[in-house]
Amino acid sequence: VLCETEHRLCTPANMAAGGMAKDKLESLVLQLFEVGAVKFGEFKLKSGIISPVYVDLRVLVSVPPLLDLVAEALVAATSSCTYDLVCGVPLTALPFATLMSAKTGKPMLMRRKEVKAYGTKKAIEGVYTAGQTCLIVEDLVTSGLSVFETVAPLETEGLTVNDVVVLLDRGQGGRTNVETRGKALYSVTTLPEVLQILHTAGKVDDATRERVLQFIEANQVVVKQDDGGVYSAAKSDAPKAPAEHSFAERAKVSTNPAGRALFEIMEAKQSNLCVAADVTTSAELLALAGAVGKYICCLKTHCDVVSDWTAETAAGLRSLAQEHNFCIFEDRKFADIGNTVVHQCRDGYHQIAGWADFVNAHPLPGAGIVDGLKTAFEKAPKAGLLLLGQMSTKGNLITDAYTAATVDMAEANPDFVFGFISQKRLRSASGPDPFIYMTPGVKMEQGGDAMGQQYRTPESVVVGDGCDVIIVGRGVYAAADPATAAQEYATAGWSAYNKRMNSPK
């Protein structure tokens, strides 16, 4: 199995994001290197491409203590998951799934790579009941194609698949391919993490490390599904935010005032941080906005959860936005017909169009929702709209075709729609991209919560998937010191942006 992974470098602070303590993760990586599971040199891929790295985890079946350690790490990485069964992707992951089953007491299923024409002719072996939840176990992920090939027969049998766990995320787009199809991906480590650990330990020199990282960057993979439901993987042609296209340059080609203003604020404040102010009182909201205002480019509100919202609350937000130079984004996620959203946005108790710089909407109702919101903002000609192209929750129903149609809708309304809520860059632009990509579910460490939210790091969002604005909620407003937390996230987000700008083309 050859491994070529995405350019996602992890700092020591988040190396334990997969559930292992930092020292144990380092020990695991060094042991994998010592037994020859990770090798560097020149290796010919099936496609004919020469790879500078080779990962072969099949060797672990001959090293029982290390195999057991890997199983423990996979169990720890999925400690927040709820599941009834485990199923390993054939063939390398089967020993991992077997040990996980023994350690957790969860029954194991096996998927046949080829269904026999005789006997029971089963695609899935084992004892199960329709409606049970199954955890997918894989050794490593590049595109995620093998994951989908295992998910499909399980779901055909009536089983539910929410989560996938891998030892190594190779970062060639597999995480995005899996998560944008509604499954959560948990990894013990990533190839860039492995490189960092081995480099620090003196096992990999600077030249080798850089050569592998460049290979990762140049070999991103996308997975597509045809009309017959068959999955296929291919090298991605999507750009990684060209270094010469800065926020300032993209501001010049933005045709919406709100989008242009957001680009300019990011450049002026050197911050691409949007704080999600998910608090429930006006006092908390205004206090948070005042505390984090100097560090953010945008404040995201949910006015309908503020129990004592008044016109004074809106006026207070506008005053703070002017004082600290940030935009106000009301995360209303409009999803109704045009006539209804006019009243939802302009009228009613909150009168959103009177104080928000921009809002967002689901494109599900069709182009009428864009027209309706344009009408709602007639008295605010500098306002704009974001469309929801992807979501960060596991189990969401957004498909590739839906996302593509969302992009088409945005491109048809560039005067009002200036960007997307997404998990990755959605357009392939030959010049500076006028659209902004804002990504929720960002924390310093990768993981998830009990209600399906999936968290990613600033670097994986901005460098790995080419998005522009990191949206951080609980990592800031629930912190002991929100101002300090906001400053740390702003630094991390801008550092990731600079890294993307300076990365090799």
- Residues designated catalytic: 333
Q: How far is CA 46 from CA 7, 42, 113, 251, 283, in A?
A: 22, 13, 19, 43, 60
* Residue 242 CB-half CA count within 13 A: 13
Tell me 456's DSSP state.
B
Q: Would you say 1 and 191 are in contact if contact means Cβ atoms under 8 Å apart?
A: no
Tell me 92's DSSP state.
T
Query: How close are the terminal C-alpha atoms of the chain, in Å?
Result: 27
Task: Tell the residue number behind the tokens 């400690």, with chain if given.
Answer: 79
Q: Would you say 108 and 98 are in contact if contact means Cβ atoms under 8 Å apart?
A: yes
- The angle that helices 482-502 and 282-292 make with each other, rounded to 10 degrees, is 50
The alpha helices in 237-310, defined as continuous H runs, are 247-253, 257-269, 282-292
Give 57's contacts (C-beta < 8 A, 6+ positions apart). Answer: 1, 32, 37, 70, 92, 139, 140, 167, 168
Q: Which two tokens stand for residue 131?
A: 């409606």
Give 481's contacts (C-beta < 8 A, 6+ positions apart). Answer: none
Q: Would you say 390 and 423 are in contact if contact means Cβ atoms under 8 Å apart?
A: yes
Q: Would you say 37 and 56 are in contact if contact means Cβ atoms under 8 Å apart?
A: yes
